[in-house]
Structure 1
Amino acid sequence: MIILGEYANLKVSKKVDFGYYLEDKFGDEVLLPNSDVKNHDIKEGDKLEVFIYRDSKDRMISTLKKPYITVGQIGYLEVVSQREIGAFVDIGLGRDLFIPLKEQSFKLKDGKKYLFYMYTDKTDRLAGTTKIDSYLDLAEEGKYKVSDEVKAIVYDTCENGTLNVAIDGKYRGLILANEHFDYIYPGQEIEVRVKRIYEDGTLGVTTRKKRLDAREELSQKILQYLKENGGFMPFNDKSSSEDIKAEFNTSKNYFKMTLGGLMKQKLIIQDKEGTRLL
């Protein structure tokens, strides 16, 4: 069958001035335009695998090009333009994919990439949506384990600070508000660590590094700050959590533990004014 938004294996039935007609076993035909057959030696009777879509005049046609996604798939796609009725994203064909305004969960920006799901709308046209949650898979048992380092793309944000993410572009995951410090926007691809695997297969991930690695990194950051500021900083374990987060992008608890470790190494001392390099 010839289905919009999917691949089809079709036979070349005849050559015309503007291209080739391809047909399925039921005799249904679709055009393969001349513009798409450059550098291809095509003859009547050949079997071709083509992708079915609509051209700028809304006619169903075929192409030998491979789109980035097909109907029913999720892809990480770039926004190329916007109109009052919606946005358009590049899917690797001569025609971009339309994203209606009602299918945008957040403000899209030209030149930025986001996760989109491709579907066929009520008018039998290809379209996309940022509302991908129900189309993500749950990780099967054994696919991931705690402490695995994986890639995640944010596709939604919650008012409580939790981020919904797609792990490896396919599996459902989340980052709780206390598991990230930086502002992370929809579409951003980040490195995360699996911290928990929920019973339903959802992956709880964190942007925090392993405890020892994180403290070593913070230690170096503190020492560098001190060296660049004459051996002194106006921060100590009594400083406010807001000030610590603003300057060092970490929690007060981590900051205090790291200062304690540096003091044990006799690298710093603290007083009422702040911290000094020994």
Structure 2
Amino acid sequence: MIRIGEYNTLEILRETSVGIFLGDESGNDVLLPNKYVPKEFEIGQSITVFCYLDHEERPVATTLKPKVTKDEFALLKVVEVNNIGAFLDWGLEKHLFAPFREQARKMEEGKWYLVYVYEDTETGRLVASSKTNQFVSNEHIELAFNDQVQLIVSRFTELGVEVIINNKNKGLIYNDELFENLKLGSIHQGYIKKVREDQKIDVSLQPQGYKAIEPASQKVLDELRANNGYLALGDKSDPELIKATLNLSKKSFKKAIGSLYKEKLITIEENGIRLQ
């Protein structure tokens, strides 16, 4: 079966005046238009293409790589709005449709929106929705402390930044865990800090527990070496100064210098730390 909205590895069946036809093991075929046909190819050769519906709602293949595939989230720009909905640039010739019913707020041309792409079961067409909350759930969580996960920034709140975890769960990075500026739709590596009894998930951009010490210690060492072996930071330093200097929380900083001191890599002075 040729999967719409996904990459398919298909066999080159035949060449025609409009392109080459590709097929799967079940006997289904799809056209790869001339503009996307490789300069060199052989009948019977396998090729990986992305399949979607063209302007006439017919399956078609392309060697272009879209910015998002089916069942994924992405930040996309609206290039047109008309009386049926909005159309977004996803890197293909035919723009991605976002009907009014799937817009969290009315989309405007030229603006960017975080959307989820799914296949409309009635039309078989790919559709974008900015009502992203309906596509994530914490009803089933298969995550544990310090698991490494993929995060997509979905919303900014007073408490912190809401994120989509591994394309299926939702979590929160609290403000005191933020040591860099994040942007809507940006993708980051993160770590599970806590799965709460109420199914809420706390997330961090830093590894937790023992694993957090090593990268933090390295960051302190790198900063020391860049500053002639001395930093005017210590246990009594203001947390905001530590954050501005090292992009670390005061808690992570104290763990790091404790580890470095134990390994005899630094000395702790009254007003700062120094490389041994």
Contact in 1 for aligned 2:152/2:165 (Cα 8 Å): yes
Report Cα offsets for 1:169-206 as digits up to 9, x if no partner: 22333323333322221111111222323446554322
Worse-superposed segment, 163-172 or 126-135: 126-135
Going from structure 1 to structure 2, the CA distance change for 1:84 and 1:253 (only over 3 Å counts) comes to same
Going from structure 1 to structure 2, the CA distance change for 1:202 and 1:253 (only over 3 Å counts) comes to closer
AA in 2 matched with 1:187: G
Confirm or deny that 1:40 pairs with 2:36: no
TM-score (ref. length: structure 2): 0.63
AA in 2 matched with 1:150: V
AA in 1 matched with 2:21: H
Partner of 1:193: 191
The unaligned stretches of length 5 or more in structure 2 are 7-15, 32-50
Confirm or deny that 1:64 pairs with 2:45: no
Q: Displacement of 1:83 after TM fit?
A: 5.0
Partner of 1:214: 212
How far, CA to CA, are the matches of 2:213 and 2:251 in structure 1?
11
Q: Displacement of 1:250 after TM fit?
A: 1.0
How far, CA to CA, are the matches of 2:129 and 2:217 in structure 1?
44
Tell me, what secondary structure is at the counterpart of 1:39?
strand
Partner of 1:130: 130
How far, CA to CA, are the matches of 2:173 and 2:238 in structure 1?
25
Tell me, what secondary structure is at the counterpart of 1:153?
strand
Going from structure 1 to structure 2, the CA distance change for 1:47 and 1:53 (only over 3 Å counts) comes to closer
Going from structure 1 to structure 2, the CA distance change for 1:148 and 1:138 (only over 3 Å counts) comes to same
Partner of 1:236: 234
Q: Displacement of 1:6 after TM fit?
A: 9.3
Going from structure 1 to structure 2, the CA distance change for 1:203 and 1:222 (only over 3 Å counts) comes to closer
Partner of 1:88: 88
AA in 1 matched with 2:79: Q
How far, CA to CA, are the matches of 1:245 and 1:145 in structure 2?
27
How far, CA to CA, are the matches of 1:258 and 1:84 in structure 2?
52
How far, CA to CA, are the matches of 2:225 and 2:5 in structure 1?
60
How far, CA to CA, are the matches of 1:208 and 1:41 in structure 2?
45
Report Cα offsets for 1:222-244 as digits up to 9, x if no partner: 22322332222222222211110
Give RMSD over aligned pairs: 4.0
Partner of 2:267: 268
Tell me, what secondary structure is at the counterpart of 2:214?
helix
Going from structure 1 to structure 2, the CA distance change for 1:64 and 1:165 (only over 3 Å counts) comes to same
Contact in 2 for aligned 1:232/1:275 (Cα 8 Å): yes
Q: Which has the larger radius of gyration?
A: 1
Same amino acid, percent of matched pairs:
25
Contact in 1 for aligned 2:138/2:200 (Cα 8 Å): yes
Q: Displacement of 1:156 after TM fit?
A: 1.6
Contact in 2 for aligned 1:115/1:155 (Cα 8 Å): no
TM-score (ref. length: structure 1): 0.63
How far, CA to CA, are the matches of 2:126 and 2:22 in structure 1?
29
Going from structure 1 to structure 2, the CA distance change for 1:170 and 1:104 (only over 3 Å counts) comes to farther
Count of aligned pairs: 225
Q: Displacement of 1:95 after TM fit?
A: 0.8
Going from structure 1 to structure 2, the CA distance change for 1:129 and 1:251 (only over 3 Å counts) comes to same
Q: Displacement of 1:139 after TM fit?
A: 5.2
How far, CA to CA, are the matches of 1:199 and 1:271 in structure 2?
43
AA in 2 matched with 1:134: Q
How far, CA to CA, are the matches of 2:230 and 2:5 in structure 1?
64
How far, CA to CA, are the matches of 1:236 and 1:200 in structure 2?
37
Contact in 2 for aligned 1:244/1:251 (Cα 8 Å): yes
